[in-house]
Amino acid sequence: MLSRSKTVDFLREIPVFSGLEQTALERICMQAHDLDAVKAKLLFVSGDPAEFFYVIKSGWVKLFRETLDGNVAIIDILTTGHMFGETSIFEDGAYPYSAEIVEDAAIIALPLADLKQEIENNQQLALAMLTSMARYRKQQEQEIEHRTMQNAPQRIGCFLLRLTRQNETGPVTIHLPYDKTLLASRLGMQPETFSRALSKLKEATGIRVKGATIELDNLEQLTNYSCAACSSEFPCKDIAASSS
Interface residue list for a second copy (CB under 8 A): 46, 65-69, 71, 73, 75, 87, 89-91, 96, 119-120, 123, 126-127, 129-131, 133-138, 140-141, 143-145, 147-149, 188, 227-231
Residue 121 Cβ, how far from a second copy at the closest point, in Å? 8
Nearest to 132 by CA among 18, 7, 236: 18
List the single partner that 31 binds among a second copy, DNA, none, CB under 5 to 8 Å by kind: none
For residue 87, the one-letter residue type is T
Rule CB under 7 A: is residue 153 a binding residue for DNA?
Answer: yes
Residue 45 Cβ, how far from a second copy at the closest point, in Å? 12
84 in Cβ contact with 99 (< 8 Å): yes
Residue 95 Cβ, how far from a second copy at the closest point, in Å? 12
For residue 104, the one-letter residue type is D
Closest CB to DNA among 86 and 103? 103
Rule CB under 7 A: is residue 207 a binding residue for DNA?
Answer: no
Strand partners, 34: 108
- Quote the CA–CA distance of 221 and 226 in Å, as a whole number: 9
List the single partner that 65 binds among DNA, a second copy, none, CB under 5 to 8 Å by kind: a second copy
Nearest to 174 by CA among 123, 221, 242: 221
Rule CB under 7 A: is residue 138 a binding residue for DNA?
Answer: no
- Quote the CA–CA distance of 20 and 9 in Å, as a whole number: 12
Closest CB to DNA among 45 and 209? 209
Pairing outcome for strands 213-216 and 208-210: antiparallel
